[in-house]
């Protein structure tokens, strides 16, 4: 999609910077308490969750290790293709460590289930999920976040690291996208 194509969409603010900070700090407080004295590895799903991870780490009061995975399931547009591919895998040994997956949005649950199953093969002590947003109405497999910022309706969201065709990640707040029926609006 080119720059002109992006003009056919309107952004509507869903969560302010202050609301996002509150969600993240609340989760960080719980995580810090729950994992105090334990060896925790945060595994961030790229690219959408990297801003969330950065803020989360700043609020944590415990030492953590950080690693990244990149799982491709969205090709373009607003629909998933259903197939999940690993394009960057974990590098830190996870055996006998607690793992906390950092995700921007739980949607169908398929990506997280795939990743949890894959990480379980590495023999961690535990695997839990921390997600900023959850679209429960889109769930296709049973999946719940252990740490959750907030639920969100079935909207296509952008900002705060979350993109639409690699655009809008830079926005400091979270918006939802709607098409503009008439470009002159």
Instruction: Return the active site residues.
Output: 107
Alpha-carbon distances, residue 54 vs 21, 102, 111, 133 (angstroms): 12, 11, 21, 16
Pairing state of beta strands 80-88 and 147-151?
unpaired
Q: Distance (Å, rounded) from C-alpha 30 to C-alpha 56?
A: 11
- Tell me the C-alpha distance between 73 and 45, whole Å: 12
Residues 175, 7 contacting (CB under 8 angstroms): no
| DSSP at 92 | S
Q: Are strands 40-46 and 64-74 parallel, antiparallel or unpaired?
A: parallel
For residue 2, the 8-state DSSP code is: -
């Amino acid at each position: 999609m080119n720059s002109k194509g992006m003009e056919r969409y309107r952004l509507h603010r869903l969560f302010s910077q202050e609301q996002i900070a509150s969600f993240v700090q609340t989760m960080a407080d719980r995580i810090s308490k729950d994992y105090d004295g334990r060896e925790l590895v945060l595994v961030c799903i790229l690219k959408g969750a990297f801003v969330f991870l950065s803020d989360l780490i700043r609020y944590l009061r415990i030492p953590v290790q950080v690693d990244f995975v990149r799982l491709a399931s969205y090709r373009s547009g607003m629909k998933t293709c259903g197939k999940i591919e690993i394009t960057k895998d974990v590098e830190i040994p996870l055996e006998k460590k607690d793992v906390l997956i950092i995700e921007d949005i739980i949607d169908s649950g398929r990506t997280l289930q795939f990743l949890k199953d894959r990480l379980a093969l590495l023999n961690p002590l535990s695997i839990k999920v921390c997600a900023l947003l959850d679209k429960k109405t889109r769930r296709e497999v049973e999946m719940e976040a252990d740490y959750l910022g907030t639920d969100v309706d079935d909207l296509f969201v952008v900002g705060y690291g979350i993109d639409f065709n690699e655009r809008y990640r830079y926005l400091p707040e979270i918006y939802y996208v709607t098409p503009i029926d008439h470009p002159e609006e």
